[in-house]
Amino acid sequence: MKNIAGKTYSLFGDDATSNGYFEIVRKLTDFHLEKFRYTAEYLLEVIRLADKKIKVKNRQQKIADIRAVISENLKQLLSPYLGGIKAHVKGLSLLQRFDATLRTKEYQYHLYMIEIELVNRINRESFFKADFKMALFPHCLSDFRSRCLSEAGDIEHICQKCTKDCHINLGSKLLKQYGIEPYISATMDQRKLFKELKNQHPSLGVLGIACIPELARGMRLCHSLGIPAIGIPLDANCCARWMGRAQETSFNFNELEKLIDF
């Protein structure tokens, strides 16, 4: 891995790897579970209340719980992995402001970081019990030194192993060892895609690798469709959607192997 600076975040912080980020997120998650004596499921529900579209009972009490979750610990320990968010949001065009992913605020990043860890803990066993397990890579993980030769497959695009150092190629080899079918995401309407897959494979599990906001929202989408999802965030958000011009990014292979070594 090499330190990569994204548009709004980098899981490297000031380190040479993103290993430290994942250790901090695990410790923060444990801390809040112990502090509030919540189950992982209940803490996840509380965190997801950051989305105003979710309706729940006892809203005032739960909002108070959210404020407790957005604690100084999160700000102090997770802010080093974030940067330039206010300037980025302020600089969005009128059209871009309609994109919920692009306008993600700093406190939402904090919550999503913990949310992804909680979802992995909750769904990991159910994911591996699924009869059909698949993974989705973003195109920004391909080797930018050569043209990607991926081809359309039965579900999404499939890696053709064109370069040995490509993150998608290396990740695909690892996933296949654990019985997980890797694909490269190309479909814009993921709700439609997952609904069709759920009809074809009633026992379906999905593993996602994406930038933090998209991974958290993808996990929520899968939850709404009854699909156990797990995932690893990209080390930095560098695709054209964020940067204007696509730049290569990476993900933590060690953390992926920890997640799928069940």
Residues 106-149: pLDDT tens digits?
988 999 999 999 999 999 999 999 999 999 999 888 876 777 77
Per mean pLDDT, which range of 64-68, 164-168, 208-212 is the poorest? Answer: 64-68
The three-class DSSP label of residue 20 is helix
- The predicted pLDDT at position 143 comes to 73
The three-class DSSP label of residue 203 is coil
Q: How far apart are the C-alpha atoms of 150 and 239, rounded to whole Å?
A: 18
Give yes or no for residue 61 having a pLDDT over 70. Answer: no
Q: Give every strand in the sheet of 132-137, ordered side by side.
A: 151-152, 157-158, 181-184, 132-137, 204-210, 229-233
Average pLDDT estimate for 66-85 = 81
DSSP 8-state secondary structure symbol assigned to residue 174 = H
Give yes or no for residue 209 having a pLDDT over 60. Answer: yes
Average pLDDT estimate for 182-205 = 92
Name the CA radius of gyration of the chain, rounded: 18
- The predicted pLDDT at position 151 comes to 76
Q: How far apart are the C-alpha atoms of 65 and 145, rounded to whole Å?
A: 47
Amino acid 243 reads M
By percentage, how much of the chain surpasses pLDDT 70?
Answer: 91
Give yes or no for residue 174 having a pLDDT over 80. Answer: yes
Nearest to 5 by CA among 257, 253, 251, 249: 249
The three-class DSSP label of residue 199 is helix
- The predicted pLDDT at position 50 comes to 61
Average pLDDT estimate for 6-11 = 95
Average pLDDT estimate for 209-234 = 97
- The predicted pLDDT at position 157 comes to 84
Confidence of residue 52 (pLDDT cuts 50, 70, 90): low
Give yes or no for residue 56 having a pLDDT over 60. Answer: no
Kindly report the number of other CB atoms within 10 A of residue 28's CB atom. 20
Q: What is the dihedral of CA 218, 221, 226, 231, to 10 degrees?
A: 10
List, in order, residues 6 or more apart from 95 with CB less than 8 Å away: none
- The predicted pLDDT at position 117 comes to 98
Q: How far apart are the C-alpha atoms of 21 and 117, rounded to whole Å?
A: 12
- The predicted pLDDT at position 212 comes to 97
Tell me which of 74 and 233 has the higher pLDDT: 233
By percentage, how much of the chain surpasses pLDDT 90?
Answer: 60
